[in-house]
Structure 1
Amino acid sequence: MAQEKALIALERIAGDEAWRSAFIRELIAFEDAIDAPGVDVREEITGPLVDALFDGDQVIRKTLSTGVTFEFLYRSKIARDFVMSTPEAPDHAWEPQTSRILVNLAKHAKQVVVGGAYFGDHAVLIAREIAPRGGVVHAFEPNNQQRAMLARNAELNGLTNIRPRPEGLWSDSSTNLKLVGYDSFASVEVAEAGAEDGFKTVTIADYLKAQGVDKLDLIVVDIEGAELGALKGAEPFLAMPAGQAPDILFEVHRHYVDWSNGLEATEIARLLTGHGYHLFALRDFNSNYDLSGKPIELIPADAIHLEGPPHGFNMVAVKDPKVFETSEYKIVRDVSPKLLRHKDPKLHHPVGGL
């Protein structure tokens, strides 16, 4: 009976936008007020309560402090943590330091490829940065509904330089794939030709050749294990010298990458270092978290704390590491790239503190 009453109460709160907003603010205040070392309060307590206020087909609109507006479906941790942002108008939608470094790397870019563009949480920020120079973001998102949200967000922000694409980035342009899993957690597997939920693959090199693009400035790939294949499909660009080769941001995850012998020994790291890239792990929250004013912390590939349960994080590959010799960046060693509020501060908080 008590559980039924609790569900009815949550339904009433969900049905009134003002009540819902006030309830979410109180939950965020609760997170800040309690001391629970080792407990992920967001994932175990407050997050599920907020999830109960929304359904997966609900479109939410939220505006950043920069004026960028996003519409998105409430279908993922990305959506939930964006809804629960502090401040209410944050400077990013997802992953604060990833968002910042991508805008930085885009400052001199014109041609950008984004694999796993989702609803545009990063692609829109990049497109906004490169638009004055006539830059183009080639945004690959096989999920039809999220690709539609990407196009909608381009429209909302007056951006005409995003090219939404349905293909999957891969090491060849002749494979059929399908998404397996739900929304942002979906990975890819090979599908039969003509499968109803399938999609074609394309290499970055083949796609850009067809577009008449011979110089690529930035690659961003977060495609749940397909990163290696996508980068293999871009090798003609990776082989270019410093100053001409693209900068790269990509995700690695223990489910897809065997780093038991060290990250430098992985195939994806060897591919990139073989082409002259320097690799760094990017320390970031897999969330929406206010890190404004904090330097972007980077860990050299040979000094990353990798222990812990299966997890993933973003890495940056550049041919000229001097680009990080500014006050906006800090090179750190022997810490985890996973920033986690509830874990050991020495390993999982920014070096300067939260």
Structure 2
Amino acid sequence: MKHHANYILARQPAFYRLLLEVVRSRHLEKKTFLRLVKDGDVAFDIGANKGSYTVLFSHIVGSRGQVHSFEPVRSTLDMLKDRLAKEQRFANVTLNQAAMGESEGEMVMHIPAGDHGQASLRRHSTGSWAKDQTESVSCRVKTMDGYAAEKELKKLDFIKMDIEGAELLALRGGEKTLGKFQPVLHLEFYRSWTEAFGYGAKELLAPLRALGYRNFYRGDFTVLNQPEEELNATEHSENVICSARPL
């Protein structure tokens, strides 16, 4: 019953978003996605974890849309598959056991204390990483440009990317695709984790600006007038929306 209700609501995103506002839901990301993702869209879920947003995107984009979901850790991907088997209503999801990066190949994914949601290509020190219990597994890495060419994508409307600091690597591997389609991006930025990859907000946003992205917002759609400075001044994790057009 719950799964069916979620499906019915997701097919009416404006109403669903209003309902979440009325009940004062703390699901900010869900409210954001209900505004950004549209029926018929092609969406990427990069860092899909157990698939809660893959399912949401699938419901929203419907039979005319596509969802391409990327999760590199096999055990996590299996949980995502189980979720889809129970909740999916449209045959519109392509699953990929892969990370997104700057170049194709194999890399090592580190999983802290069994927390698959914080699995990363770099070791960190905060959150579950503080427990000092880490499992490491080899994973395949794809590039956005290579994948878009392989699938012969005709459009790409939205990308959600939550990959624990590796966002810049994925963007570098997708510059051709991003420049061609200019999808709306929803990125996680956490300075503590991006520093493990050797970059900050300036380095993250510079290639996007070069590709025509001019509008930057926090996850609640508050405008970032000086995004580089404002993000670097933030100590906690921040969701950032990037768009070539005003939202």
Answer whether TM exceeds 0.5 for this pair: yes
Q: TM-score, normalised by structure 2?
A: 0.75
CA distance in 2, matches of 1:224, 1:301: 25
Asked if structure 2 preserves the Cα contact closer than 8 Å seen for 1:116 and 1:222, the reply is yes
Match of 1:272 among 182, 199, 208: 208
RMSD (Å), alpha carbons:
2.9
Does residue 1:246 correspond to 2:177, yes or no?
A: no
Does residue 1:316 correspond to 2:228, yes or no?
A: no
Does residue 1:214 correspond to 2:214, yes or no?
A: no
Asked if structure 1 preserves the Cα contact closer than 8 Å seen for 2:145 and 2:177, the reply is yes
What code does the residue aligned with 1:256 have? W
Partner of 1:118: 49
Say which structure, 1 or 2, has more relative contact order (CA 8 Å, 6+ apart).
Answer: 2
Does residue 1:152 correspond to 2:82, yes or no?
A: yes
CA distance in 1, matches of 2:50, 2:32: 19
Partner of 2:68: 138
Does residue 1:162 correspond to 2:87, yes or no?
A: no
CA distance in 1, matches of 2:162, 2:28: 15
CA distance in 2, matches of 1:246, 1:120: 21
Match of 2:194 among 253, 257, 268: 257
Match of 2:222 among 295, 298, 302: 298
Does residue 1:223 correspond to 2:163, yes or no?
A: yes
Which of the pair has more CA radius of gyration? Answer: 1
CA distance in 1, matches of 2:24, 2:147: 32
Match of 1:188 among 106, 117, 121: 121
Alpha carbons of structure 1 residues 65 and 315: separation in structure 2 relative to 1, 3 Å: farther
CA distance in 1, matches of 2:100, 2:24: 29
Listed as ranges, the gaps of 5+ residues in structure 1 are: 1-61, 70-86, 191-195, 284-295, 325-354
The answer to which of 199-208 and 145-154 deviates more is 145-154
CA distance in 1, matches of 2:57, 2:6: 14
Q: Once the two structures are aligned, what percentage of the paired residues are identical?
A: 23
Partner of 1:78: none
Alpha carbons of structure 1 residues 67 and 319: separation in structure 2 relative to 1, 3 Å: same
Asked if structure 2 preserves the Cα contact closer than 8 Å seen for 1:141 and 1:168, the reply is yes
**1:18-72 deviation digits (Å, cap 9, x = unpaired):** xxxxxxxxxxxxxxxxxxxxxxxxxxxxxxxxxxxxxxxxxxxx93794349xxx
Partner of 1:15: none
CA distance in 2, matches of 1:154, 1:180: 23
CA distance in 1, matches of 2:102, 2:237: 22
CA distance in 2, matches of 1:225, 1:231: 12
**1:224-282 deviation digits (Å, cap 9, x = unpaired):** 01111111111112212xxx421111111111335xxxx7x611111111111124342
Offset at residue 306 of structure 1 (A): 5.5
Moved over 4 A (4+): 305-308
Match runs of 1:54-73 below 5 Å: 63=2, 66-68=5-7
Offset at residue 129 of structure 1 (A): 0.7
CA distance in 1, matches of 2:122, 2:172: 17
What code does the residue aligned with 2:118 have? F
Structure with a larger share of its residues in helix: 2
What code does the residue aligned with 2:33 have? L
- Matched positions, count: 213
Listed as ranges, the gaps of 5+ residues in structure 2 are: 9-19, 124-135
Alpha carbons of structure 1 residues 301 and 139: separation in structure 2 relative to 1, 3 Å: farther
Offset at residue 313 of structure 1 (A): 1.1
Partner of 1:104: 35
